[in-house]
Amino acid sequence: MTPRWGPAAAAALLLLAGPVLAGCSASGAEPPAASGTSSAALPTDGAGLEPLLLDEVPSGRPRVPDDELQPPAGEKTIDDVARYGDDAQHQEDVLGQYGYQRGWERFWRSGDELTSVFLDQFTDAGGASSYAVDLAGNDAEYYGGTLDDDPTGLPEDCTLLLRTTPAPELGMAGPAAFTWCPAGPFTVSVASVAADVQAARAEVLAVTRSQLDRLPPS
């Protein structure tokens, strides 16, 4: 088995482990319900979600087969994500408050340079947006670095995090960049570790834009 990269493994779970989780968003309010997101062309199961995932990344890093990671990447149900935490039932209850439906993980690796994409689908855009905001805040606290709530080159509501120094204890052998973007009922979370922070940022921005372009219009 290929060891799972620390940031990618934790990306969907730090929200569940962080202090904001008492069934609330980071602001202390319930995750807001969205108004009228069209369900046309939206996936209704994992088989429908998988084709929306990128197959390649701009850096050309080879894709890591899903079953070479532990736990395996690929399709994720609410039960799968909940089991990452210490109290699976509580985690599932919290995910349910966001309206979590299904997810998919995909990884690319070349030596110590890494890229991950997490695509999660929610009942509505309000849950997806709340999840993205809370996840960004928790990841920033965990990994350190500087959050940018209006990053150049990404759509409105996306958040970028840069960490300029390696953090081997967190699974990052080099500088890293992270993004979180709500897109209708979806949340796109991308992370990259590269030789320098400029390369990590370039990779994560390009991957995020490409992944957002593959999603159905909301």
Torsion of CA 4, 147, 142, 116, to 10 degrees: -10
3-class secondary structure, 38: coil
Peptide bond into 182 cis (omega under 30): no
In a domain, 150, yes or no: yes
CATH number at residue 140: 3.40.1000
In a domain, 174, yes or no: yes
| Close Cβ partners of 119 (under 8 Å, ≥ 6 residues apart) | 49, 52, 53, 103, 104, 186, 187, 188, 211
CA 85 distance to own-chain centroid: 16
The pTM (predicted TM-score) of the whole model is 0.84
Q: What is the DSSP letter of 189?
A: E
In a domain, 127, yes or no: yes
In a domain, 118, yes or no: yes
**d(Cα 129, Cα 104) in Å, to the nearest integer?**
17
User: What angle (nearest 5°) sits at the alpha carbon of residue 181, between those of residues 175 and 182?
Assistant: 160
Report helix, strand and coil shares of the chain as percent, to nearest 5. 35, 25, 40
Q: CA dist 50 to 66, 78, 197, Å? A: 12, 16, 30
Structural domain count of the chain = 1
Residue 172's domain comprises 6-18+56-213
Q: What is the pLDDT along the chain (218 residues), one digit of tens a residue?
A: 444 444 434 444 444 443 333 233 433 434 444 433 444 589 999 999 999 999 999 999 999 999 998 889 999 999 988 887 778 898 899 899 999 999 999 999 999 999 999 999 999 999 999 999 999 998 898 888 889 999 999 999 999 999 998 888 888 889 999 999 999 999 999 999 999 999 999 999 999 999 999 999 87
